[in-house]
Amino acid sequence: MSQITHEPPDRQLLTLEVNGEAHEVLVESRRTLVDVLRHDLGLTGTHVGCEHGICGACTVLIDGAPARACLTFAAQAEGSAVETVESLDGGGGGSAPGRRLSDLQQAFTEHHALQCGFCTPGFLMLAEGHLAEQPAPSREEIREVVAANLCRCTGYQTIVDAIEDCAARRRAATSEEGPCN
């Protein structure tokens, strides 16, 4: 007679730095970063679409580089700085009522770069990661970057417009040494 035994789940205590704050979470080794962000830390701005690395809705920054949080084990992010869409802040502080949109979020609004908005957090973080590396991207470069993520609503033109406009405003603000927002 065969006997089936169930091993207790393999859990580990992780310290994750998310949006500048350190969090301790006890998770199974196989738990993905997006599940930890959404379910353990309550940061539901990062969306889950395909869970297969295709759509990019789950895009966050890990040490400044865009990454698919659905394909990243939480344990892989230990020791790195994770940034989610909640880190974007145009002033006003945290989730306070007076909080303003960031300059990139404002550009998305002005250019109607979202409709249902499901994909938007992923596009914002994808763009932030790219603009940090390339503050003066050509329109063609922006088109190539946003091709990494899926949007079923906008047709992409307005997303490209928004990123291009935000990049130009940031460059103008830097040359004037004034605020971007």
Q: Select the residue interacting with ligand FES from 33, 36, 43, 58 (CB under 6 A).
A: 58
69 to 108, contacts with ligand FES by CB under 6 A? Answer: 70
Is residue 142 involved in binding ligand FES (CB under 6 A)? no
Is residue 53 involved in binding ligand FES (CB under 6 A)? yes
> How many whole angstroms from its chain centre is CA 77?
14
Q: Least distance in Å: CB of 136 to ligand FES?
A: 26
Is residue 162 involved in binding ligand FES (CB under 6 A)? no
Is residue 49 involved in binding ligand FES (CB under 6 A)? yes
Pairing label, strands 65-68, 59-62? antiparallel
Q: Least distance in Å: CB of 159 to ligand FES?
A: 8
Q: Least distance in Å: CB of 65 to ligand FES?
A: 15
180 strand-pairing partners: none
Contact (Cβ atoms closer than 8 angstroms) between residue 21 and residue 84:
no
Return the range that interacts with ligand FES (CB under 6 A); candidates 4-12, 16-24, 43-51, 89-97: 43-51
Is residue 17 involved in binding ligand FES (CB under 6 A)? no
Is residue 126 involved in binding ligand FES (CB under 6 A)? no
Return the range that interacts with ligand FES (CB under 6 A); candidates 16-24, 74-82, 100-108, 146-154: 146-154
Question: Which residues are near ligand FES by CB under 6 A?
Answer: 48-51, 53-58, 68, 70, 114-119, 151-154
